[in-house]
Amino acid sequence: MLNFFQGATPAYKNLTPAQFSAALRQPGAVLLDVRRPDEFAGGHLPGAVNIDVTAPDFAQRVAALDKTKPTYVYCRSGARSANAAGQLTKSGFAHVSNLLGGVLDWPEKLVR
């Protein structure tokens, strides 16, 4: 059964910080920070919406987003956002991308 999961390609894209930054420039892109609110308050990417992936109402809150718009997800290191990206694609989001390395690898200035 473990072999079934090996080699499975995620339904979302993993993007380097440079690719992520370039992709965010497209019109209608939704930027989703899935960290805790205290982490978000400490600094986030400009224009980001904060919905904590570990919160019990995560699925309900993201259901209110437009599933047809390109959605870009990030967290601190890329692990929680990969989890969130998987949940989004399973929920019917068409275009989901995850920031590899999270804000730890983000070269641009964060806003508060």
31: annotated active-site residue: no
At 58, phi and psi to the nearest 5? -55, -50
Is the separation of the CB atoms in 36 and 44 below 8 Å? no
- HSE, side-chain direction, 13 A CA sphere, residue 40: 16
Q: Which of 31, 32, 75, 82 is catalytic?
A: 75
Element (H, E) at 30: strand 30-33
- List, as one string, the DSSP characters of 65-79: S-TTS-EEEE-SSSH
Residues with catalytic function: 75
